[in-house]
A = this chain, B = another copy of it.
Amino acid sequence: MSPRRRDTEATPPREGRRAELLATAAEVFAAQGYAATTIRQVADAAGILGGSLYYHFDSKEAMADEILSTFLGDMWAAYDRVLGAGLGARETLEAIVAESFRCIDRHRPAVVLYQNESKHLATGERFRYLLDSHRRFEEMWTSLLERGVAEGVFRADLDVGLVYRFVRDTVWVAANWYRPGGRLSADDIAKQYLAMVLEGIQRGSG
C-alpha cells in the first residue's frame, strides 16, 4: 500500500507527490464532474500516463475519497473549534460562516466535488461518512438556529428547516464561482454574505 520502496534515489519530490496528484485530480473533478472525468484526463493534467496513477492510488474512487475526507476532516476540525468556544448563537453563526469561506478558500475543488457529487457517491459503503457529515451538518445548523430564535436574536416567523437549507446552500454554492486571489478575499466575501443573510439586501427602514 505504501508507495515507497527505495531509499537512495535522486528523484526530488518524494513526499507530497500524492498531495500534488490529489490537488490536480480535485481540480479536474471539480471542473468536469466526477463521473464525466476520466482517469486519463487526470493523468494528462498531472503530466503522466493513465496507468501510472495506480501506483499512487488504488482507484478513481479512492482519489475522490481522499479528496473529500481530507476536506471534511479539516472543515469539522474548524467547526468544532468554533462550536467549543461557547459563543452566542449569532456569533457562532458568524464564525461558522467565516470558517466555511476559509474552507472554500483552502479546498475549493473539494467543496465543488462535495456539492455536486456527494449525493451520488454516498450510495457506496466507502462514502458512508458523507451521510454522517450531512447529518451532523443538519443537526448543527438546526440547533444553532433554534438556539438563536430562543435567544431572541433570530426571527421566529421563519420555518427553521427552510432557513437551514437557505444558509447551508448559500454558503457552499459560492465555491462554484470563488477563485482564490480574486478581487475579494474569503473574509471579505464572508462579511458581505453575513450582512445579506442577517440583515437582508433591502435598505433598512431606520
A residues lining the B interface (CB < 8 Å): 32-33, 35-36, 90, 116-117, 119-120, 152-159, 162-163, 165-167, 169-170, 173-174, 176-177, 184, 189, 192-193, 195-206
Contact = CB atoms under 8 A, between A and B. Distances in A.
Nearest to A193: B166
A107 to B, nearest CB: 19
Give the number of times this chain occurs in the complex, counting copies. Answer: 4
Contacts of A158: 192, 195-196, 201
Q: Does more than half of chain A's interface fall in helix, strand or loop, or is it mixed?
A: helix
A196 B200 CA distance: 6
Contacts of A157: 195
Contact of A200 (B116, B192, B198, B206): B198
A17 B151 CA distance: 55
Closest 5 CB pairs of A and B: A200-B200, A35-B35, A199-B200, A169-B173, A35-B36
